[in-house]
């Protein structure tokens, strides 16, 4: 069970990660804003509390595996990995630059400490399912490794995701944990307008998954849900995490228009383009030290 002190630590890391996300997007002049900000708490909990991993030895054979399916939110993964010690934080400002390790989607040929290259939406769950099956073939059902697949809600529109979900349910992959970023937006609008997903929980249950729903910003609830998922022996688990896209910046929270725009190139009805980066960083820094209570 996560301690109060660890919640404080993880929450502070999440806030630092949000600030880094904005700084790197400003430097890049392109990239996604809303999703990365919304997933900072989950990534912080995973890298600073949940995962078995070693930043000094990324290829450690006994590590857990994390597969990011919706690769366009990679700024949050890069920022988290940098703060965890995989590479210098200063390198984050090379995002999307020619020759950088930090491509617009994670790419193992550039950054070999990510588990997979990602791009085509819907593919990550199948990659994680394949890894979990291979682990079972190599080391049996008692392997201590866990495989985490981080998914967006919008990519549930892809049929290949449901094929992977069906296979995982059939194979009873108890060491597979999917986390769905249920932020209700995609690039063209609200998910329920573009392609309704509800009843999402019932759909996953129909594919023989253990399903939980949590507040994706409540670190204690997230930790409890992951603990429960690890204890399920007969089937894979999915945690539907309800998150706020653009978390931490009130002017853009829940606004689908910020799905794919960086500061300086987003909607200008609330903040002028030339002020967006400055305002975003000011608001995030003002929140530092004041946001821990909501993680309880």
When pLDDT is cut at 50, 70 and 90, the band that residue 96 belongs to is very high
CATH number at residue 82: 3.40.50.970
Lowest mean pLDDT among 115-119, 122-126, 133-137: 115-119
Tell me what pLDDT residue 288 has.
77
pLDDT at 57 exceeding the cut of 80: yes
**Average of pLDDT values for 94-107?**
97
When pLDDT is cut at 50, 70 and 90, the band that residue 75 belongs to is very high
When pLDDT is cut at 50, 70 and 90, the band that residue 289 belongs to is low
Tell me what pLDDT residue 84 has.
98
Tell me what pLDDT residue 287 has.
86
When pLDDT is cut at 50, 70 and 90, the band that residue 46 belongs to is very high
Pairing mode of beta strands 237-242, 176-182: parallel
Lowest mean pLDDT among 14-23, 72-81, 242-251, 279-288: 279-288
Model confidence over 204-237: pLDDT tens digits?
999 999 999 999 999 999 999 999 999 999 999 9
When pLDDT is cut at 50, 70 and 90, the band that residue 6 belongs to is very high
Alpha carbons 217 and 183: distance in angstroms, whole number:
11
Range of the domain at 249: 4-295
Count how many domains the chain has: 1
Q: Which two three-digit tokens encode residue 230?
A: 């690890």
- Give the mean pLDDT of the chain: 96
Note whether 248 and 284 are within 8 A (CB).
Answer: yes
pLDDT at 77 exceeding the cut of 70: yes
Tell me what pLDDT residue 202 has.
98
When pLDDT is cut at 50, 70 and 90, the band that residue 291 belongs to is low
pLDDT at 296 exceeding the cut of 60: no
């Amino acid at each position: 069970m996560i301690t109060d002190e660890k919640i404080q630590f993880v929450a502070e890391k999440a806030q630092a990660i949000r600030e880094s996300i904005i700084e790197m997007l400003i430097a890049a002049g392109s990239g996604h804003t809303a999703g990365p900000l919304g997933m900072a708490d989950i990534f912080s909990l995973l890298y600073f509390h949940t995962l078995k991993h070693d930043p000094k030895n990324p290829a450690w054979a006994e590590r857990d595996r994390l597969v990011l399916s919706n690769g366009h939110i990679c700024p949050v993964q890069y920022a988290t990995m940098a703060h965890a010690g995989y590479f210098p934080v200063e390198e984050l400002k090379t995002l999307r630059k020619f020759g950088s390790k930090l491509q617009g989607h994670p790419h193992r040929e550039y950054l070999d400490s990510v588990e997979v290259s990602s791009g085509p939406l819907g593919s990550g769950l199948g990659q994680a399912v394949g890894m979990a099956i291979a682990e079972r073939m190599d080391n049996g059902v008692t392997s201590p490794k866990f495989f985490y697949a981080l998914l967006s809600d919008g990519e549930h529109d892809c049929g290949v995701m449901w094929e992977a979900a069906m296979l995982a349910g059939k194979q009873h992959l108890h060491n597979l944990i999917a986390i769905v970023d249920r932020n209700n937006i995609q690039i063209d609008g609200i998910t329920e307008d573009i392609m309704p997903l509800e009843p999402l929980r019932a759909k996953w249950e129909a594919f023989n998954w253990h399903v939980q729903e949590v507040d994706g910003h409540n670190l204690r609830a997230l930790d409890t849900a992951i603990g429960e998922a690890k204890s399920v022996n007969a089937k894979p688990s999915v945690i539907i995490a309800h998150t706020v896209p653009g978390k931490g910046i009130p002017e853009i929270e829940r606004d689908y228009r910020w799905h794919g725009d960086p500061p300086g190139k987003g909607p200008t009805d609330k903040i002028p383009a030339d002020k967006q980066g400055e305002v975003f960083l000011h608001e995030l820094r003002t929140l530092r030290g004041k946001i821990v209570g909501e993680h309880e």
